[in-house]
Amino acid sequence: MGFFTSRKSEERLSTDMLAADHSAGLLTEVWSWTKSILIALFIVAMVHQYGFHLSTVKGASMQPTLEENEWLFINKTVQFIGSPNRGDVVVVKEPEASEPQPIFLVKRVVAVAGDEVRIQQGKLYVNGLFAMESYTDSPIEDGSLEPYTIPQGSLFVMGDNRHRLASYDSRSFGAVSLDKIEGRAELIVWPLSKIRIL
């Protein structure tokens, strides 16, 4: 009789050990998956914050280059490596925004620190030279701008749409500090029919 009781106890102990091992194995597996997911989310957040992300075009200020609802691939490393050049399309935090949520604008860099810009008779001049802007389809219809030298650490940005009141840009809020540059638009990624490098 004692033999059977001992055997039953051993079987119960063995079953309990298997259940404990299974439970520990399950917890280890769940923890492993949780760590992997957290690491992946952290990497995605870092890439989005400091590397690359997608941005949607709103409004008509960059026509004819960009149309509303097109998706842009934004390179954010430009904030840390070098700075945008003349002709680059950039995403800018609106300098005069008073709302808690920042407003982002897509504009083109037309002048960099040290450049002198002037607008006269519908034409843009940079450092005294007429700026050849193949990306626009009309003269500037918003009047003139007296010669203005871009301060260090700043850029002068404009929309490609030069029709009257079509773009809110540096002609309204002045030069943009480099710390307001969110990134450089590298290419259009959507719709597929319009994929191209900017």
Q: What are the tens digits of pLDDT across the range 11-63?
A: 554 555 555 566 667 777 777 777 777 776 766 666 555 566 788 889 999 99
pLDDT of residue 54: 85
Q: Where are the extended beta strands (E) located within the chain?
A: 52-56, 71-75, 89-93, 104-112, 116-120, 123-126, 129-130, 145-149, 154-158, 176-177, 181-190, 196-197
Residue tagged active-site, from 14, 55, 58, 61: 61
Average pLDDT on 102-121 reads 93
pTM beyond cutoff 0.85: no
Is 36 a known active-site residue?
A: no
Joined together, the tokens standing for residue 58 give: 């709103």
pLDDT of residue 170: 92
**8, pLDDT greater than 60:** no
Is 6 a known active-site residue?
A: no
CB–CB of 61/156 below 8 Å?
A: no
Average pLDDT in the chain: 82
pLDDT of residue 136: 92
CB–CB of 183/91 below 8 Å?
A: yes
Residue tagged active-site, from 76, 83, 107, 167: 107
Residue 192 vs residue 10, higher pLDDT: 192
